[in-house]
Structure 1
Amino acid sequence: MLSVIYVSVADPLLSPADIDAILVTARRNNARDALTGALIYNGHNFMQLLEGPADRVDACLAAIREDRRHSGMIEIRRRAIERREFADWTMLYEPGFQGQEVEFARLAANGRLDPEFERMLGNFVALGRRSPSAGGQAPLQ
């Protein structure tokens, strides 16, 4: 299995309805393709983790790269995994990810990981330990 985290810059005209549409599509497609993960949107940038069979993760990422609702997609972590970090989530959504706006913007601008951002990634991955009922979304079936 493969786990990939990327960041990108959101279209400044993105609306709440656009976010809802992204989530509906992601959850439907991820359930179909045996993918799990999480999405964070801070009003300016996206960060997403996708995990599952490598070929399906890569196919999903190819489609995401073509989505005009964001640009400047940079993979910040790609690794083989034996166990999913977001096993119960077709797509956990965390609006805001409070207190991380500066780190998000810096990473989206230069694509480099630094110790502060590594700590943020740890917090991001910890989201996967939340109960699915706390995230307002059904777990992967």
Structure 2
Amino acid sequence: MTTLISVIYVSVADPLIREEDIAAILLSARRNNRRDGLTGALIYNGHNFMQLLEGPAREVDACLDAIRRDARHSGMVEVRRRAIDVREFAEWSMLYCPGFEGHDEDLARLAANRRLDPQDERMMANFIALGRRRPTS
């Protein structure tokens, strides 16, 4: 039986990244993830990326290696890796919604329905909130 893993990483987006670049990332990720049996979610908070990626360990690690080489971000750090029995984002090759505006309740609902680990929900919600903070002068 294939071991499934779930990995969450964060990285710093290229400051010159545009919506078109993110659209290209998503197009490629969705195509490749369907091919490789991977699922997950990508969050861009205006400064950083956070991605949850899940699937067979070998395919997840190969995907992460390719992501590390992508010049559209830097400083990639894994913040959580674990073996899983059930995927949290099984329906999505790569869930994405710009800024996840209005999706705080969706994340909380996924956690309440035991579809999303409560710790992952808190981490994602905090990451999104960081992107909404306005710099102080």
Q: Normalising by the residue count of structure 2, what TM-score does the alignment of the two structures yield? A: 0.73
1:44-84 Cα deviation digits (max 9, x unpaired): 10000000000000000000000000000010000000000
TM alignment of 1:1-141, pairs within 5 A: 1-97=4-100, 119-121=122-124
- SS in structure 1 at match of 2:97: strand
Structure 1 residue runs of 5 or longer lacking an equivalent are 100-115, 125-141
Distance in 2, matches of 1:53 and 1:117, equals 19
Give the count of matched residue pairs.
108
Larger radius of gyration: 2
**Identical counterparts, % of pairs:** 74
4+ residue runs of structure 1 moved beyond 6 angstroms?
Answer: none
Q: Shift of the alpha carbon at 1:42? A: 1.1
Distance in 2, matches of 1:66 and 1:42, equals 21
Q: Shift of the alpha carbon at 1:95? A: 1.7
Structure 2 residue runs of 5 or longer lacking an equivalent are 103-118, 128-137
Distance in 1, matches of 2:73 and 2:87, equals 26
RMSD after superposition: 2.3
